[in-house]
């Protein structure tokens, strides 16, 4: 297992400075870069541990606090374990913050994250891979379509509203995507009902995007997050296998 180094870094953006967690192998050399998009609960120990696990596999991983406009992480105070009883109060605070991150702002920020990685000595030259969780899956999809020349692969897990009927739904960027995509959907996820799963599949197929979409039976929205009651160990292990396989094919 490769020893990793994890540090907090600051990334200049059009609207200020985004704090982020950077994890990479400790050998001092450049490695293929992965941009990891957080879920709504934000940059916290669980996501840092996930970044470290990817770094152990030989990747340089950047996890930006996409809510930086509202403060450095943690933007919202969280319990150590997020259960059903604590979720309503947390989302009452997160709701306005999430709405404030418009697609235009998110994609301007994505450009800043990608430029930072391109300039980082810890990141190898060339395109990067993306992985995103919950709301981060939508950000990954949108980034792949907005910066196709910079994204070689993108994955999303238990994403919500990926193919809604909104005029700015993430799936509408499909025609611009050149990356290979993988999505692991949660079974019976109210934020991604069967009709949206099919709409996403149809859009990617029509656009000729190399992709694979799978529904994880028995897994709930948020199934990769071990610090929440939504965690599903089998789904999480399946997610790691699929993600690492995608990265191996990409790099």
The residues that are catalytic are: 134, 189, 221
The Cα–Cα gap between 83 and 80 comes to 10
Can you point out the beta strands (E) in 123-210? 128-133, 151-157, 180-186
Contact 13, 106 (CB under 8 A): no
Is residue 74 reached through a cis peptide bond, with omega within 30 degrees of 0 on the bond before it? yes
CA nearest to 236, candidates 244, 151, 212: 244
For residue 78, what is the DSSP state?
-
Give residue for tokens 């005029």. Answer: 167
């Amino acid at each position: 297992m490769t020893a990793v180094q994890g540090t907090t870094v600051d990334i200049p953006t059009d609207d200020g400075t985004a704090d982020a967690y950077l994890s990479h192998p400790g050998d001092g050399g450049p490695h293929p870069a992965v941009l990891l998009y957080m879920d709504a609960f934000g940059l916290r120990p669980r996501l840092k541990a996930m970044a470290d696990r990817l770094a152990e596999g030989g990747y340089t991983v950047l996890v930006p606090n996409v809510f930086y406009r509202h403060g450095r992480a943690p933007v919202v105070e969280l319990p150590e374990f997020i259960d059903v009883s604590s979720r309503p109060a947390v989302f009452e605070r997160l709701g306005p913050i999430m709405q404030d991150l418009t697609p235009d702002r998110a994609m301007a920020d994505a450009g800043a994250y990608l430029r930072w990685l391109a300039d980082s000595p810890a990141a190898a030259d060339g395109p990067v891979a993306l992985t995103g969780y919950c709301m981060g899956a939508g950000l990954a999809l949108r980034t792949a379509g907005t910066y196709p020349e910079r994204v070689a692969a993108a994955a999303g897990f238990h994403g919500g509203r990926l193919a809604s009927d909104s005029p700015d739904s993430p799936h509408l960027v499909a025609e611009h995507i050149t990356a290979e995509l993988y999505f692991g959907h949660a079974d019976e996820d109210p934020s991604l009902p069967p009709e949206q799963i099919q709409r996403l599949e149809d859009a990617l197929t029509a656009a000729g995007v190399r992709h694979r979409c799978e529904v994880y039976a028995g897994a709930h929205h948020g199934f990769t997050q071990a610090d929440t009651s939504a965690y599903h160990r089998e789904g999480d292990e399946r997610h790691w296998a699929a993600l690492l396989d995608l990265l191996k094919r990409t790099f």
